[in-house]
Chain A
């Protein structure tokens, strides 16, 4: 797995790192133009306008390329020519899928971090940026005391929140993998089929939850007032319970997409 990750990270970041660097350089240049008035007036503001357009283009490009790479690295890396190399390695299909998934997750998070950093460069001074970042680590003493007194399990909630974000992200990544894995089984019109499968899977799962909700709604009962009181008194357990419900919900969807991807690539691989 470590070797697969090394190879996958290299495949992706040899392209992304220069893009990140370019984006940050343009962000700094934009900030300089914004801060120094005479620069804005050079050639009637054409360079400033041009720089703004470049920034906007890179901003959109960063998001588009990150999303495209998630799809491209799976499609080209496993289901096209490169698949002849990857699927003849002495590794299991789950290792191939998980390594792609981990790198895609890191790629999306890194892209997000670079965008936030760029916006900070554009909108804050160095000191403001530092204060903004350090504010996360220097919460007022009163706030700490309030949190420890009223919600002592907040670190657990934070961990649950991060886990939820990761599971949510993995679910969407695995959803695209699953659609492509089904699409490759076809002898022709693979891309069209992948798009159709993507929609069908989403529709199927949404319908399933709606039906389940409808059934539960029919058999639902009014909670006794004592239960309401219990929830109010044990609000921490209630909030954690809600988080675990959300995690279970997204986790089940993630499991479905992962299992279908794995099943297709291990039992119905079709590298024509």
Chain B
């Protein structure tokens, strides 16, 4: 059990003059499912990209299991981005083999099992799949790893409600004392039941970080209700 799996100190990101993230201080331990919540443009995706080293911070630092983003952190982090990273020439099985080649924690039988559960064929070419199906394939390869940290950027945004339930169940079944899941979304009602902690981001600033139980007890309302109040237009 690592109490400091993810440590962000004064994490700041500027795009030109636009402040995308401002001085985020956050420490997340192992064995948690954390909701990264905020409206569009609040900095959720920027935050996840910084953790992955896909963009560089303007200020502050990120440490995952005590190390800055790099080869080691990539080997223990499983990231589902908010866009398609698939190479269209591949078949589904090629992608699964690719992940199996590069990640020692990839569970090949589990990936095949998940494919079957979602009714997907491993021999299909990625370019022939619909957008929703591609998202499911990306989610399968992300969740078929036994990572310490899962970073899921809008994992349920583009899929049908039935698949949404399957995805949430998949996340729950991967939950262990060793791994933490950070889910970025604004579909709070759908995921509230699986969350342990939440982070509210507003205009690049972290306005709240607490457990779901504390919030319900303190505020007397659900996270979804609180979100609607805090981020009311």
Contacts of B86 in A (CB 8 A): 82, 85
Query: Hey, what's the 0/1 contact readout for A14-55 against B, CB within 8 Å counting as 1?
Result: 110000000000000000000000000000000000000000
Say yes or no: is B200 at the interface (Cβ < 8 Å to chain A). no
- Known A-B contacts A83-B54, A271-B55; the reply to A10 vs B89 at CB < 8 A is yes
Give the residue of B87, B89, B98, B102 whose beta carbon is less than 8 angstroms from that of A90: B102
Closest to A267 in B: B56
Sample 11 A-B pairs with CB under 8 A, ordered by A number.
A7-B101, A10-B89, A10-B94, A83-B85, A84-B54, A87-B52, A88-B77, A88-B79, A91-B74, A267-B56, A269-B54
- Pairs of residues from A and B, 4 with the lowest C-beta to C-beta distance, nearest first: A90-B75, A85-B85, A271-B54, A84-B85
Of A6, A82, A89, the residue contacting B74 (CB under 8 A) is: A89
Q: Is the CB of A90 within 8 A of B56?
A: no
Besides A6-B101, A84-B83, A270-B56, 4 other A-B contacts (C-beta < 8 A): A11-B89, A87-B52, A87-B54, A90-B75
Whether the pair B72, A271 counts as a contact (CB closer than 8 A) is: no
The total of interchain contacts (Cβ-Cβ below 8 angstroms) comes to 63
Decide yes or no whether B103 CB sits under 8 A from chain A: yes
Q: Which of B53, B55, B75, B94 contacts A272 (CB 8 A)?
A: B55
Contact B89 A88 (CB under 8 A): no
Q: Which residues of B contact A81 (CB under 8 A)?
A: 83-85
Q: B103 and A88: CB pair below 8 A?
A: no
State in angstroms the CA–CA spacing of A73 and B86 once bound together: 14
Q: Taking A90-B72, A91-B71 as contacts, is the C-beta distance between A270 and B55 under 8 angstroms?
A: yes
Contact A272 B15 (CB under 8 A): yes
Contact (Cβ within 8 A) B56 A3: no
Q: Are A7 and B98 in contact (CB under 8 A)?
A: yes
Chain A residue nearest to B98 in the complex (CB): A7
When distances are taken between beta carbons in the complex, the residues of chain A under 8 Å from B94 are: 10
Q: When chains A and B are docked, how far (Å) is the Cα of A268 from the Cα of B14?
A: 13
Interface presence of A172 (CB below 8 A): no
B165–chain A nearest beta-carbon distance, Å: 26
Complex Cα distance, B79 from A3, in Å, reads 20
Residues of B within 8 A of A87 (CB): 52-54
For A57-99 the 0/1 string (1 means CB < 8 A from B) is: 0000000000000000000010001111101111110000000
Q: Residues of B contacting A92 with CB < 8 Å?
A: 71
What sequence of 0s and 1s flags, for each residue 229-272 of chain A, a beta carbon within 8 Å of any chain B beta carbon? 00000000000000000000000000000000000000111111
The yes or no answer to A187 lying at the interface (CB within 8 A) is yes
- A134–B206 alpha-carbon span in the complex (Å): 73
**Is B83 in contact with A3, judged by CB distance below 8 angstroms?**
no
Q: With a CB–CB cut-off of 8 A, which chain B residues contact A269?
A: 53-56
A contact residues around B4 at 8 Å (CB): none
C-alpha spacing A119/B94, complex, angstroms? 36
Residue contact B87 to A82, C-beta cutoff 8 Å: yes
Q: A3-B102, A15-B89, A90-B102 are in contact. Are A187 and B15 (CB under 8 A)?
A: yes
Residues of chain A with a CB closer than 8 A to B16's CB: 187
B59-101 interface code vs A (CB 8 A; 1 in, 0 out): 0000000000001101101010101111101000010001001
B49: interface (CB < 8 Å): yes
Tell me the smallest distance from the CB of B3 to a CB of chain A, in Å: 24
A88 lies within 8 A of B87 (CB): no
A88 touches B74 (CB 8 A): yes
Q: Please determine whether A91 and B89 come into contact, CB atoms closer than 8 angstroms.
A: no
CA distance A189 to B85 in the complex (A): 22
| Given A11-B87, A81-B84, residue A90 in contact with residue B55 (CB < 8 A) | no
Question: Which residue of A11, A77, A83, A85 has the most chain B CB atoms within 10 A of its CB atom?
Answer: A85
Q: Is the CB of B49 within 8 A of A271?
A: yes
